[in-house]
Structure formats: C-alpha cells, structure tokens
Structure 1
Amino acid sequence: MGDFEGRTVLVTGAGGGIGAATVRHLARRGADVIAAARSIDKVAELCEETGARPLAFDLESEDSIREAIEGLGSEGVDLWGVVNCAGFGGEIATPQETDISVFDKVISVNARGALLVTKYASREMIRAGKGGAFVNVSSQASLVALTGHISYGSSKAALDNITRVTALELGAHGIRANSVNPTVVMTPMSAWYWGRPEIEGPFLDQMPLGRWATEDEIAGPIAFLLSDDAAMISGVSLPIDGGYTSR
C-alpha cells in the first residue's frame, strides 16, 4: 500500500514534462490521480500508462474550471490534493520591450488560472473534511531577477504569494499549501531559449551544481510536500535549483 492510498490528487499541466512525471510519481505511491490538461488527447497516453483519470478544462476560463472541479464532487470524488503545474512561458523581453498582451496571458495562465483552480478545489476539499495539500509549481524566476523574464517571473512571484495566502487561509481546515521553485528543466517550453550555448553556458557557470534539473528531480519534492512526511510544512517556497538562488 502506498502512502497516498485512498487520496485523490488533481495534477494540472499533466500533458507537460513535470506534470507527467508528477502523475507517475503519485500513481506509483497509490494515489488516485486526476491528470488535467486543456484537452483529453494531451493526457490519454499518460492515463493509459498510469491508470490516472483524464480531465479537461481551460485555465483561462473560470466557468470551465468551476464545471470541471465541481463535476468531480457531483460524481462523489473527494479531492484531497492539488498540484498546480500548468504554465505558459510567454516571451523573453525586457520591461521596456514587453508585449503587454503576452504579459496578460502569462499572468492569466500561471497566476490567475492557479488561483481559480485553488478557489474551486479548496471548496471541495473543505466539503470533504479530510484536510489535504496544494503544491504550486513556481520558478527560480520568482526568487531572483532573470534577464528577459519580466512576464514569467512576475507571474510566478504572484503564484508564490497565492501559496502563502492559501496556507494562511486554509490551515484551519487542515489544508497545507507550498510552492516548489525549480531551475530550468529542458522541456520543449524551455529548450528554445535555455538551450542556446550563449545562454546555457554562462548560466550553468553560476550554478553550484552546474547542471539542469530533470523532471523526476522536480516531481520527487512535489510528492514529498504532498505527503504526510511534510505534515508540518506549509507556506514555503522550496528552491530546486542546484543552489542557484543561494548566490
């Protein structure tokens, strides 16, 4: 029996690298995982592999999020945990060059979308009365200034504050909330920029461990923060960045 046996955990962004790795970690440990993406097609193969249940909704639509999550409750599903992993990278731009429409979309997906999932999921978790945990996938870009990351870093800084306030407001219900703040994982979303030799080399030279993270190295700490081993940890932002933000 795994340590998540009998617990239902919703993972958004399950069609991406970190999200899919998180689904696999939780499924191996006995969780009833709901793998969410914008379309069922994005998670169909993952669900067949892991036994997770697919769920589709649009992170930019409050109605879509509400209907999907309230639908779980109407089907008798007691939601216990949430991993807000879905994200949009946006652009690489300075403050004076940023396209404000891109900024708005990055905020809409990374911060507003995660807040809306938290809004409706927390209601279901409170109704179930079994406590629970949120883990929000933030970024090192929320902790330190990174060149060209005005939109992405701002969205993740907002997400970190959502985490802290969620921890404060929901603690009385036995619900914890934490963030993980990874360095770059070479997913398709990141490789187009961070994979450039002129970007990759200087950045890794400043990182004590000197390498990028793997998807499993992010999924493991996410699972830890969801688990009872982290039962007294709430409201933190955990860097998973090879020591980069310790400089």
Structure 2
Amino acid sequence: MARFDERVAVVTGAASGIGEAVVRRLVAEGAQVIGGDLSAERLQALAGDLGAAFRGVVTDVTVESDVEAMVATATDAWGRLDLAFNVAGGARPGPIVDLTEADWDATVDLVLKGVFLSVKHEARVMRAAGGGAVVNVSSLNAHVPMRGGGSYAAGKGGVEMLTRTAALELAEDGIRVNSVLPGLVRTPGTAAVFDRPRVHEAFLARIPLGRAADPDEVAGPCLYLASDDARYVTGTALVVDGGWEITGYPDVRALGS
C-alpha cells in the first residue's frame, strides 16, 4: 500500500520498539520520515536500512530546543510536516513512599512533557500548512494502575488528557490528535517481564488473547489513526492490549523469577 505517499512524518523514540516499527511501516507505505531518538548509533543503523526516505536526529524530547530542531529538520528536508507520532517513553519505577523527586521528574518529564513539547512544535508547523495528524502513544497504565508505577501511570494518564485537549484546540486548524494505549509489547523496555518466567505468566494470565504484542501490532493502529481512513476520528484513545484492560493488573511482588 502507499497510504502515505508524499507525506512527511516525524517519529520520536524512533530507533527501537514501537517507534522503530512505526518508522518502518511509514517508509514502506511511501512516507518520508524524520526519526528522533537519544541513540545516534541506532538511528544510523536505521538510516542504513531505510535509505533516503529516513533521516535520524539525535533528540531529547524533554529539551524544547531539541524538539524544535527535530521538527525543523523535517521542514528543511522536505518542506512540510503532515504526520507526527510521539512514542518516546520510559520510567524510573518505585513505590510512591520511596520514590525520589528526581525519579518522579525524570519519568513524568519523559512521558508527559516530552509529548507536550512535541505536539506544541509539530502543531505549529502543521497549522501553518493547513492541517495534519498527530498520534501520541500513551499506555494501558493510563487506565490501569500498577504497583511501583505511580509516576509512569500518572504521566501516561496525562498524555491521554493532553491528547483530548489538543484535539479540541487544534480541530479548527485541521489537525487531528489521537492516542494509542498499548498493553504488554515485546520491546527492549519490557525485557524484564519476559526474562522472569513467573512474572511473564502472571501478565499473560491477564491478557485474554494470551500473548504480548509485537511492536508492529501497535504500529498498525497508530498508522490507522494517522491515515485518511480515520479522517473523522479525533480526541480518541485506542486501547491496543489484547483485552488486558478488562481483566486488571497482576501483583508480581512475590513472584520473583
């Protein structure tokens, strides 16, 4: 398919996991893509795979000047910006009573402020060009709490509401804004779940479809929301979790390995 021929996109968290899957799908469907990530090495490897349709930019999404420069790279290279996928995330987990202020700030800045800064600068460029589509990757944890994940869940919940607010504010500019809420996905960031058999089993027991997602299975819904097939969809939160939300979150504290 060529749903995104002549479209220009930016993707944060582009060099691994869901972000990389989004990049690869976009390029395969005709888009030119700027990928932002902290890892220069992984961006370079991705550029080697994808050729001229992809350019990597080392980007810390918690630093506004980095985000602004990433967006400017898209317009400098291809003269426009049509699509944005804000995927970058991570966490420094810990129980609320023990969590340091620094770890709280690091997590919330990455998962929430990073999305705010990205939407801010992406939307400015899209508005000037007459419209576009933004997809923010939140998390199932926006709806389902987990022990030790207070900062992450709060930040991801904030992403969902930020998305809805942005959809409301930007609709008159022709910009649609939606979010995707993945459940358990096989990425470098979730390796600890799969490395601990009893923990892995506890997670799978909560997932009616009986398995974790591959990154491409989240990238597909992200691209749908950015496509013309979703041209009348804005402000929505699409849960992509194999049914996990309807069963709850496991207590893994006593499971060990």
Same fold, TM-score > 0.5, yes or no: yes
Give the distance between the partners of 1:62 and 1:87, measured in 2 at CA. 16
In structure 2, the residue matched to 1:55 is 57
1:4 and 2:4 aligned: yes
Q: Confirm or deny: 8 A CA contact 1:89 1:189 kept in the other structure.
A: no
In structure 2, the residue matched to 1:192 is 192
In the TM superposition, residue 189 of structure 1 has moved relative to its aligned partner by 1.1
Which digits, 9 at most, give the CA deviation of each residue in 1:9-63, with x for residues without a partner? 1011011211111111111111111111124332111122123111222212112
In structure 2, the residue matched to 1:83 is 85
Q: Confirm or deny: 8 A CA contact 1:106 1:152 kept in the other structure.
A: yes
In structure 1, the residue matched to 2:149 is 149
**More deviation in 110-119 or 140-149?**
140-149
Give the distance between the partners of 2:95 and 2:85, measured in 1 at CA. 30
How high is the TM-score relative to the length of structure 1? 0.93
- CA 1:221–1:3 in 2, change beyond 3 Å: closer, same or farther? same
Give the distance between the partners of 1:179 and 1:50, measured in 2 at CA. 26
- CA 1:17–1:90 in 2, change beyond 3 Å: closer, same or farther? same
**More deviation in 196-205 or 214-223?**
196-205
In structure 1, the residue matched to 2:109 is 108
SS in 1 for 2:233: coil
**More deviation in 192-201 or 143-152?**
192-201
Which digits, 9 at most, give the CA deviation of each residue in 1:124-179, with x for residues without a partner? 111112x2111111111111112221111111111111111111111111111111
Give the distance between the partners of 2:76 and 2:207, measured in 1 at CA. 48
Q: Confirm or deny: 8 A CA contact 1:178 1:225 kept in the other structure.
A: yes
SS in 2 for 1:114: helix
Give the distance between the partners of 2:110 and 2:33, measured in 1 at CA. 22
Give the distance between the partners of 2:98 and 2:210, measured in 1 at CA. 30
User: How many residues were matched structurally?
Assistant: 245
In the TM superposition, residue 100 of structure 1 has moved relative to its aligned partner by 2.2
In the TM superposition, residue 99 of structure 1 has moved relative to its aligned partner by 2.2
Structure 2: which amino acid aligns with 1:60?
A: T
Which digits, 9 at most, give the CA deviation of each residue in 1:200-225, with x for residues without a partner? 21221122111111111011111111
SS in 2 for 1:168: helix
- CA 1:191–1:75 in 2, change beyond 3 Å: closer, same or farther? closer
In the TM superposition, residue 69 of structure 1 has moved relative to its aligned partner by 2.1
SS in 2 for 1:43: helix
Structure 2 gaps of 5+ residues are: 248-257
Pairing of 1:153-164 with structure 2 (within 5 A): 153-164=153-164
Please give the root-mean-square deviation of Cα atoms over the aligned residues, in Å: 1.6
How high is the TM-score relative to the length of structure 2? 0.90
In the TM superposition, residue 77 of structure 1 has moved relative to its aligned partner by 2.2
Q: Confirm or deny: 8 A CA contact 2:10 2:74 kept in the other structure.
A: no
Give the distance between the partners of 1:154 and 1:226, measured in 2 at CA. 25
**More deviation in 39-48 or 21-30?**
39-48
In the TM superposition, residue 194 of structure 1 has moved relative to its aligned partner by 5.3
Structure 2: which amino acid aligns with 1:84?
A: N
In structure 1, the residue matched to 2:252 is none
Give the distance between the partners of 1:141 and 1:60, measured in 2 at CA. 21
In structure 2, the residue matched to 1:66 is 68
1:234 and 2:234 aligned: yes
Structure 1 gaps of 5+ residues are: none
Q: Confirm or deny: 8 A CA contact 2:15 2:39 kept in the other structure.
A: no
Q: Confirm or deny: 8 A CA contact 2:8 2:74 kept in the other structure.
A: no
Q: Confirm or deny: 8 A CA contact 1:70 1:120 kept in the other structure.
A: no
